[in-house]
Amino acid sequence: MSEKKSEGHPQLRSAEWFGREGKYGFIPRSWMRSQGFGPELFDGRPVIGICNTWSEFNPCNRHLRDLAEHVKRGVLLAGGYPLEFPVMSLGEPMMRPTTMMFRNLVSMDVEETIRANPIDGVVLLAGCDKTTPALLMGAASCDIPSILVSGGPMLNGRFRGRELGSGTDVFRFDEEYRTGQLSKADYAEAEAAMSRSAGSCMTMGTASTMALLAEAMGIALPMNGAIPAVDSRRRHLAEDAGRRIVSLVRGGVSISRILTRPAFENAIVVNGAIGGSTNAVVHLLALAGRLGVPLSLEDWDRLGNGMPCLVDLKPSGRFLMEDFYYAGGLPAVMKRIADRLYLDARTVEDGTLADRLVNAECYNDDVIRRMENPVSEQGGIVVLRGNLAPEGAVLKPSAASRHLMAHRGRALVFETVEDLRARIDDPDLDVDENTVLVLKGAGPVGYPGMPEVGNLPLPAKLIAKGVADMVRISDGRMSGTAYGTVVLHVSPEAAIGGPLALVRTGDEIVLDVPGRRLELDVAEDELERRRAELTLPEPHFERGYGQMFVRSVQQAHLGVDFDFLVGKSILKKSQESF
């Protein structure tokens, strides 16, 4: 191309589109002007993409169009040019087989939309569980200046004088309904009482966890995780993010300058203190993989180990996200654990974590506990290994029962999710409270997509007897709002021939959380014999995205990303540079 380039801000990528003379400048400017934009917007100012996961199929994110307007206001005030764009949205309660099957696809949507367009920096609008990691992963692969703005949690649920937590109380209600303790009419009324505003689940589920961990890593503004979705202060936070991103672009501060190894370590420690979701494990591993930050499953145990859970929120505790905001939110938590954090980690305010904590205060010691009075001594995630999980498995001690942490029991095996659903309430099921429930076929390849079925429902006949928890093991995930003594993410999974595939009903299984062991007590020669007899299930898909997914997905201990997406690549100035 021999045409003259913009001399205003030659360092900005968008100038390659909007700053050119001749037809290569005329075309992008002319078509953008069809939207009513004036010529002054093409003077070399930073172009800010606002990546929106709004969708009516995703009620948690339904207010993000409104929030985008506030981001735009901030961008304009700071002298940038905001342009909003949609990407695929993942609504947890709707999508089948599981939203996790589409996290990587959304990340590709984000990455390729940024690459193909004149975008200098991006504000990521996310909320419902997978939208947060998906957008961060996409932006990370482009290594572009980025800020995450979360949709925020919904208002606390309320039902007949009782507070209801998203997800967590569904599991309780379901048990009460299945055993006749709750009528059909009451069950229906509770539906409306639980979800009564825009926003994500207001328990410490995956959405809250990921919004808070993004805040902990400095890629979102302070209070990003806690401000309720419908609180006016979230709109102001969005406006602030709009201002900040313009400044990050001008300073050339890309996402990899913020999401560093210390930022990930901080996130793992914080995850322990907030009693965060087990899903954070796969999401942070995948995100680190995109950035080339070394992070392993072992880091979760090593860094989170000994971190008490301080935040008393369901499912591990009593309160909900509104209470958490009023108590001081994440800055108050981080101040309490400041000696365990890298305080010099950089944030999107272009300061350090230490700057954020100066004015942090806790206003309610019941919701955000003191170190000497934790919700549980052991927050965080425990990583188990053994002949049943050679590449690891995870368990969340704060959601588990103390009396089951060292347990030996007889396995009751369900070969598939369908098998589980068909038999779990069978009155003739040979099961008691010491039985270890084992589910196969719920891993990344198996279901596929690694659904949140790991907290297997307890058999109805045992619930009726008052049994509240049992050891459950699977290669699947668990909703961040769920609880129980549940061993998850067993790797390698059964569907690709991992040892989980060899377990049979009646085998003895040993769970030893203090010793970090998960063992199948069956002689090695017998396991060899079973391995030789094993037939793997047929792949679920013969074409399309599903086929690409099962061919390319990595196992849980690597974050369930596609093998070909690991790593980042330099954002070229324009497509013509390919």
Binding footprint of ligand FES on the chain (CB under 6 A): 60, 92-93, 128-129, 166, 200-201, 205, 207
Name the residue nearer to ligand FES (CB basis): 60 or 394.
60
Between CA 14 and CA 42 the distance in angstroms is 9
- 539 contact, one of Mg ion, ligand FES, none, CB 5-8 Å limit per kind: none
Min separation Cβ 480 and Mg ion, Å? 5
3 state SS of 392: strand
195 binds Mg ion (CB under 5 A): no
Name the residue nearer to ligand FES (CB basis): 92 or 120.
92
Between CA 182 and CA 390 the distance in angstroms is 42
* Residue 176: exposure state from Cβ atoms within 10 A (0-12, 13-18, ≥19): middle
Q: For residue 422, report the phi and psi dihedrals to the nearest 5 degrees.
A: -70, -30
| Stretch of 176-184, 328-336, 477-485, 553-561 contacting Mg ion, by CB under 5 A | 477-485
Q: 357: how many CB neighbours lie within 10 A of its CB?
A: 18
Count, residues in the chain: 578
Between CA 103 and CA 563 the distance in angstroms is 14
The gap from C-alpha 207 to its chain's centroid, in whole angstroms, comes to 6
Interhelix angle 168-178/184-194, rounded to 10 degrees, is 180
Min separation Cβ 210 and ligand FES, Å? 9
Min separation Cβ 282 and Mg ion, Å? 13
The gap from C-alpha 96 to its chain's centroid, in whole angstroms, comes to 17
Min separation Cβ 95 and Mg ion, Å? 12
The gap from C-alpha 69 to its chain's centroid, in whole angstroms, comes to 25
Min separation Cβ 93 and ligand FES, Å? 5
In the list 129, 265, 507, 519, the residue contacting Mg ion (rule: CB under 5 A) is 129
In the list 166, 200, 316, 479, the residue contacting Mg ion (rule: CB under 5 A) is 479
- 554 contact, one of ligand FES, Mg ion, none, CB 5-8 Å limit per kind: none
| Stretch of 202-210, 317-325, 489-497, 553-561 contacting Mg ion, by CB under 5 A | 202-210
- 200 contact, one of Mg ion, ligand FES, none, CB 5-8 Å limit per kind: ligand FES
Name the residue nearer to ligand FES (CB basis): 92 or 239.
92
205 binds Mg ion (CB under 5 A): yes
Name the residue nearer to ligand FES (CB basis): 128 or 417.
128
Min separation Cβ 189 and Mg ion, Å? 23
169 binds Mg ion (CB under 5 A): no
**Which residue matches tokens 């974050």?**
559
Whether 421 contacts 459, CB under 8 Å:
no
**Which residue matches tokens 């990899």?**
256
- 497 contact, one of ligand FES, Mg ion, none, CB 5-8 Å limit per kind: none
3 state SS of 540: coil
- 435 contact, one of Mg ion, ligand FES, none, CB 5-8 Å limit per kind: none
Q: How far is CA 210 from CA 131, 178, 333, in A?
A: 10, 32, 15
Lookup: tokens for 38: 């004036």
Min separation Cβ 131 and Mg ion, Å? 11
Name the residue nearer to ligand FES (CB basis): 94 or 429.
94
206 binds Mg ion (CB under 5 A): yes
Q: What is the amino acid identity at position 269?
A: V
Name the residue nearer to ligand FES (CB basis): 12 or 311.
311
Q: For residue 280, report the phi and psi dihedrals to the nearest 5 degrees.
A: -60, -25
Whether 383 contacts 301, CB under 8 Å:
yes
| Stretch of 15-23, 132-140, 204-212, 237-245 contacting Mg ion, by CB under 5 A | 204-212
Whether 253 contacts 376, CB under 8 Å:
no
Name the residue nearer to ligand FES (CB basis): 168 or 254.
168
Name the residue nearer to ligand FES (CB basis): 62 or 244.
62
Could you tell me which of 282, 235, 230, 198 has the C-alpha nearest to residue 488? 282
Count of residues near Mg ion by CB under 5 A:
6
Between CA 216 and CA 373 the distance in angstroms is 22
Name the residue nearer to Mg ion (CB basis): 167 or 443.
167
493 binds Mg ion (CB under 5 A): no
Name the residue nearer to ligand FES (CB basis): 127 or 138.
127
- 55 contact, one of Mg ion, ligand FES, none, CB 5-8 Å limit per kind: none
Min separation Cβ 98 and ligand FES, Å? 12
H-only helix segments in 94-231: 103-116, 131-142, 168-178, 184-194, 206-216
3 state SS of 481: coil
Min separation Cβ 128 and ligand FES, Å? 3
| Stretch of 182-190, 479-487, 492-500, 513-521 contacting Mg ion, by CB under 5 A | 479-487
Q: How far is CA 513 from CA 278, 407, 442, 471, 521, in A?
A: 16, 9, 22, 12, 16
Q: How far is CA 157 from CA 38, 224, 481, in A?
A: 46, 21, 14
Name the residue nearer to ligand FES (CB basis): 128 or 303.
128
- 166 contact, one of Mg ion, ligand FES, none, CB 5-8 Å limit per kind: ligand FES
Residues of this chain that bind Mg ion (CB under 5 A): 92, 129, 205-206, 479-480
